[in-house]
């Protein structure tokens, strides 16, 4: 009896291991969970766009704050935490089917973010999710070639009709229509007038939080170094970079070093002179800084910090490739900007220079600048207004100045409280460094999805050409229906239009022959987008279309999804 009972007992053993789930797609329709997380991100972005904001509480703040869709830096952190939460949900999901959907959703979102290079917009999420659903809807028909043709046609249509604004009066009129009050309008006009209505890059205007009720403008000459600070962790810690994320110096000495710096004897006299002068030192080096030399610099920084001496050493590498393939000796503009006393003769080289830079020969080697702001990825050198005699003569003759130094305008935004200041910083920063910079550089197209509506008639012509080709016709129809979504979202969020009114306004806009005219009210005729300020940089719209096309091609060209073991995500970069 006992033997019979024991024989019925089956031994149970289990081995829990890390594994890599592999999911097979027997058909495109099996990929529905693939865009689950992209659709959720699209809902978040769409609900917070066009004058709407997101009420968001990060894990480090106890109080929520409003995040506008214009704050690209904050949105990067939001997406990072969103990905982190998805990763945790996958780890703690017990149901097998739910875990599979979670895995696939995270893979889809991860692929989408790689295709967009982290620059997510409401337009890209809307088009990607809508078109992906259309592509997988048909079991036996491949409509992807039609979708590709349609998106390519839209990109060509917009590229041929983009608006280039060069006249100062047109730019001033655009600023009037983009801003919400006269104070901001006059402020932006003043900034653009200082920069002669040209934005050489998206960093020539720095928008910072001010400490007064009024706005303040500060004009300096700036030089951007794309490499930033170099050195090991101990050295960066001596500058408090891990805590502050930014190294900021006031008036500083400058030494240009040609070659590799390894031996301490080539830098110790310089460190002693900077310490006794109680001034920071910016060491611009063409090679590597390592070994005993870097150790001496680190010790010097820590010692001065304990003694409350302002002297620190910031090591920045000069790369010829980032400076028009000019060697440091050939870059006369940079050497003049650094105010080296003897030009390229002030460059120190252990092989050719007879003296090590120190107090004895300070007048031969050391230049100076007004201030420095640097991270490990980039650095900005600032100096008071400086122009060469040749530039002064050229300006007097009415000729353009060829000096590559950038005029940096720092706008300290004022306000009655911190919330107002933060909102104005985000708003003005978006207008200058996103809308105006990209638009003036590459051209404008009607915003709020109106430019996409103008391309629909050209898609209708393609559908007539491919009337006998069902897959191509269905693909073009899918693109046409998806192009309506951005404008529908805008009319809902900004103007509160119902479905009937939205359809009327969209239909009226499509029928208007002028590319710059749109319908915002059924009782009025077409409105000019330049006068209403409804413009968007062409390159941002084109990138969203390109990213969508890239995502669709990658996501539909595979039949197997291999997930990976979840790891702790890396923290995103704080740089814009």
CA distance 420 to 414: 8
- Residue 181, φ and ψ in degrees, nearest 5: -150, 165
Any long-range contacts for 402-406 (C-beta under 8 Å, 24+ apart)?
403/333, 404/333, 405/221, 405/222, 405/223, 405/333, 405/337, 406/200, 406/201, 406/203, 406/204, 406/221, 406/222, 406/223, 406/224
Please check whether residue 50 lies inside any domain of the structure: yes
Please check whether residue 569 lies inside any domain of the structure: no
- 380 dihedral zone (left: phi>0; alpha: psi -120 to 50; beta): beta
Model confidence pLDDT, tens digit, residues 163-210: 888 888 888 888 887 887 888 889 999 988 888 888 877 777 878 888
Residues 424, 550 within the same domain: no
CA distance 207 to 228: 20
- Angle CA 54–71–124, to nearest 5: 80
Average pLDDT over residues 280-289: 92
pLDDT of residue 379 exceeding 70, the answer is yes
The β-bridge partners of 536 are 445
Residues 157, 175 within the same domain: no
Contact 207, 433 (CB under 8 A): yes
Give the model's confidence band at 69: pLDDT under 50 very low, under 70 low, under 90 confident, else very high: low
H or E stretch covering 178: helix 168-178
For residue 66, which of 51, 82, 84, 46 has the smallest C-alpha distance? 51
For residue 333, which of 253, 396, 402, 257 has the smallest C-alpha distance? 402
Residues 245, 280 within the same domain: yes
Please check whether residue 571 lies inside any domain of the structure: no
Q: How far is CA 434 from CA 123, 166, 266, 363, in A?
A: 16, 17, 45, 43
Please check whether residue 5 lies inside any domain of the structure: no
pLDDT at 88: 64
Average pLDDT over residues 60-84: 67
Model confidence pLDDT, tens digit, residues 354-369: 889 999 899 999 999 8
**Domain end point (choices 401, 425, 442):** 442
This prediction has a pTM of 0.69
- CB under 8 Å to 263, separation ≥6 — which residues? 291, 292, 293, 350
Q: How far is CA 482 from CA 123, 265, 472, 485, 512, in A?
A: 10, 67, 16, 6, 20
Residues 236, 117 within the same domain: no
**Domain end point (choices 394, 413, 432):** 413
Average pLDDT over residues 120-142: 88
Give the model's confidence band at 464: pLDDT under 50 very low, under 70 low, under 90 confident, else very high: very high
Residues 382, 462 within the same domain: no
Please check whether residue 170 lies inside any domain of the structure: yes
Residues 28, 139 within the same domain: yes
Model confidence pLDDT, tens digit, residues 399-440: 333 344 567 788 888 888 887 887 788 788 888 888 888 889
Residues 236, 172 within the same domain: no
| Per-residue exposure over 183-208, b if at least 16 CB sit within 10 Å of its own CB, e if not | ebbebbbebbeebebebeeebbbbbe
Number of domains in the chain: 3
Query: What is the domain range of residue 109?
Result: 22-161+448-518+536-562
- Residue 248, φ and ψ in degrees, nearest 5: -130, 120
Please check whether residue 388 lies inside any domain of the structure: yes
pLDDT at 538: 93
Query: Which of the pair, 18 or 304, is modelled with greater confidence?
Result: 304
Query: Which of the pair, 441 or 227, is modelled with greater confidence?
Result: 441
pLDDT at 89: 65
Residue that has been written with the tokens 């829990």 in this structure: 16
Q: How far is CA 227 from CA 12, 206, 298, 315, 323, in A?
A: 59, 19, 20, 11, 11
Residues 280, 396 within the same domain: yes
Residues 275, 342 within the same domain: yes
For residue 274, give the 3-state DSSP assignment: helix
Residues 174, 38 within the same domain: no
Strands 281-285 and 313-317: parallel
CA distance 308 to 278: 10
Q: What's the first-to-final CA gap in the chain, in angstroms?
A: 77
Residues 137, 259 within the same domain: no
Here the CATH number for the domain that contains residue 552 is 1.10.560.10
Here the CATH number for the domain that contains residue 377 is 3.50.7.10
CA distance 313 to 298: 8
Contact 474, 141 (CB under 8 A): yes
CA distance 236 to 230: 8
Between 221-235, 384-398, 464-478, 542-556, the lowest mean confidence (pLDDT) is in 384-398
Q: How far is CA 549 from CA 38, 153, 479, 481, 501, in A?
A: 15, 12, 11, 16, 31
H or E stretch covering 283: strand 281-285
Residues 296, 346 within the same domain: yes
CA distance 492 to 494: 6
């Amino acid at each position: 009896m006992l033997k019979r009972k024991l024989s019925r007992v089956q031994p149970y053993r289990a081995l829990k291991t890390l594994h890599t789930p592999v999911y097979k797609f027997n058909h495109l329709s099996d990929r529905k969970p693939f865009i689950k997380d992209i659709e959720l991100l699209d809902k978040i972005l769409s609900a917070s766009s066009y004058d709407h904001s997101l009420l968001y509480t990060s894990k480090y703040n106890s109080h929520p704050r409003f995040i506008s869709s214009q704050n690209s830096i904050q949105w990067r952190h939001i997406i990072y935490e969103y990905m982190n939460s998805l990763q945790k949900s996958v780890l703690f999901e017990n149901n097998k089917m739910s875990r599979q959907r979670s895995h696939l959703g995270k893979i889809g979102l991860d692929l989408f973010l790689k295709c967009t290079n982290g620059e997510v917009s409401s337009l890209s999420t809307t088009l990607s999710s809508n078109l992906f659903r259309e592509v997988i809807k048909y079991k036996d028909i491949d409509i992807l070639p039609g979708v590709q043709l349609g998106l390519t046609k839209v990109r060509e249509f917009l590229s041929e009709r983009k608006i280039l604004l060069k006249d100062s009066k047109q730019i001033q009129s655009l600023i009037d229509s983009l801003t919400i009050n006269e104070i901001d309008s006059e402020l932006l006009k003043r900034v653009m007038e200082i920069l002669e209505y040209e934005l050489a890059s998206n960093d020539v205007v720095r928008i910072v939080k001010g400490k007064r009720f009024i706005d303040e403008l500060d004009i300096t000459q700036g030089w951007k170094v794309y490499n930033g600070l170099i050195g090991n962790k101990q050295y960066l810690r001596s500058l408090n970079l891990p805590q502050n994320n930014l190294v900021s110096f006031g008036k500083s000495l400058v030494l240009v070093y040609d070659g590799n710096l390894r031996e301490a004897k080539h830098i110790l006299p310089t460190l002693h002179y900077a310490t006794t002068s109680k001034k920071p030192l910016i060491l611009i080096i063409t090679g590597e800084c390592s070994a005993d030399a870097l150790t001496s610099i680190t010790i010097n920084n820590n010692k001065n910090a304990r003694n409350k001496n302002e002297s620190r050493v910031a090591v920045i590498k000069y790369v010829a490739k980032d400076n028009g393939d000019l060697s440091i000796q050939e870059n006369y503009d940079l050497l003049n900007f650094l105010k080296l006393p003897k030009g390229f003769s002030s460059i120190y080289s252990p092989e050719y220079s007879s003296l090590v830079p120190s107090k004895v020969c300070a007048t031969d080697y050391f230049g100076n600048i007004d201030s420095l702001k640097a991270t490990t990825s980039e650095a900005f050198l600032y100096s008071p207004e400086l122009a060469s005699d040749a530039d002064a003569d050229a300006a007097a003759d009415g000729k353009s100045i060829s000096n590559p130094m950038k005029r940096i305008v720092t706008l300290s935004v004022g306000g009655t409280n911190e919330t107002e200041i933060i909102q104005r910083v985000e708003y003005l920063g978006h207008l200058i460094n996103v809308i105006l910079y990209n638009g003036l550089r590459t051209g404008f197209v009607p915003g709020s999805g109106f430019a996409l509506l103008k391309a629909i008639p050209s898609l209708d012509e393609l559908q007539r050409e491919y009337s006998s080709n069902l897959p191509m016709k269905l693909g073009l129809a899918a693109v046409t229906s998806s192009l309506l979504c951005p404008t529908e979202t805008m009319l809902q969020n900004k103007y509160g239009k119902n479905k009937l009114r939205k359809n009327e306004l969209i239909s009226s806009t499509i029928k208007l022959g002028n590319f710059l005219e749109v319908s915002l009210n059924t009782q009025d005729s077409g409105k000019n987008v330049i006068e209403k300020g409804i413009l968007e940089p062409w390159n941002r719209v084109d990138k969203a279309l390109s990213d969508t096309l890239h995502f669709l091609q990658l996501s539909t060209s595979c039949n197997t999804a291999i997930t990976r073991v979840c790891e702790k995500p890396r923290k995103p970069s704080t740089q814009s």
